[in-house]
Structure 1
Amino acid sequence: MKNKIILVLSILFGLMMVNSGLNKFFNYMPMPEMPEQMMAIFGALLTVKWLMPLVALVEIVGGVLIAIPKTRALGAIVLLPVMAGIVIHHLTHDVAGVGMGLVLFFINAWVIIENREKYLPMVK
């Protein structure tokens, strides 16, 4: 039962990451209203021309990897820095929007914990 839950959550999580990454390239979802401070932050991030395409690429690749059971452990590690950045950003600048980020972060952490034996050779 637990494996089926992880499978469904991983597929949904992967689809959300792929969607988020594709949106950074094609801008098909409208941006929500943001305070002036957050607009300044996003403006600063957009001045570094390679940063958002890199994040988008990591989200797409990580989303595909985490949705496939054989590569799920690698996808979880690839997405961990992105998820940490999302949660930290919302905790410092938009606490009201942190809920979904925390849910996704905990799904990612659960996948990492369930695949911990695959990571042991990296730390030995």
Structure 2
Amino acid sequence: MKIVKIIICVLFGLMFINGGLNKFFNYMPMPELPAEQLKIMTAMMTIPWLMPLLATMEIIGGILFAIPKTRALGAIVIFPMMVGILLHHIIVAPEGIIMAVVLFLINIWIIADNWGKYKPMVN
């Protein structure tokens, strides 16, 4: 079971690293976006620091998540972005909801698995 967890966490981390790097280098082709999603993307692009911030946090969070020793911190770093991804797919792009839910559940699983490490922050 431990090897399964390691594989899932490394793949999860790599997905976020890849997403962040793509925001900087644009190496993956952009699919044709429906009007609603295009409006959201255009709005996000008007804030010059937003995409670099998201990309940086995705890369940092992905690296932290993939490394067992820093996984608890990576799960917390990625969590706000994961909530945004999930809400986006619930409200705007339901065709991607299954993947968003699976990734969200992996993130919650790792947070729950490391709950003891977070307790000192809330006590």
- Structure 1 length-normalised TM: 0.96
Task: Report the alpha carbon displacement of residue 38 of structure 1 after superposing the two structures with TM.
Answer: 1.1
Task: Report the alpha carbon displacement of residue 6 of structure 1 after superposing the two structures with TM.
Answer: 1.5
Q: Does residue 27 of the first structure (1) align with residue 26 of the second (2)?
A: yes
Unaligned stretches of 5+ in structure 1? Answer: none
**Matching residue of 1:64:** 63
Partner Cα distance (1:119, 1:73) in 2:
8
Identical columns (%): 55
**Matching residue of 1:104:** 103
AA matched with 1:64:
I
Partner Cα distance (2:31, 2:104) in 1:
21
Q: Secondary structure at the match of 1:49?
A: coil
Task: Report the alpha carbon displacement of residue 59 of structure 1 after superposing the two structures with TM.
Answer: 0.3
Instruction: Kindly report which structure 2 residues correspond to 1:48-87, keeping only aligned pairs within 5 A, or say none.
Output: 48-87=47-86
Q: 1:6 touches 1:111 (CA, 8 Å); kept in 2?
A: no
Partner Cα distance (2:19, 2:80) in 1:
15
Partner Cα distance (1:24, 1:109) in 2:
25
Per-residue Cα deviation, 1:28-50 (whole angstroms, up to 9, x for no partner): 00111211121111001000000
AA matched with 1:99:
I
**Matching residue of 1:10:** 9
AA matched with 1:26:
F
Unaligned stretches of 5+ in structure 2? Answer: none
Partner Cα distance (2:32, 2:105) in 1:
26
- Structure 2 length-normalised TM: 0.97
Task: Report the alpha carbon displacement of residue 4 of structure 1 after superposing the two structures with TM.
Answer: 2.0
**Matching residue of 1:123:** 122
Q: Which contiguous aligned blocks of 4+ residues in structure 1 show a shift greater than 4 angstroms?
A: none
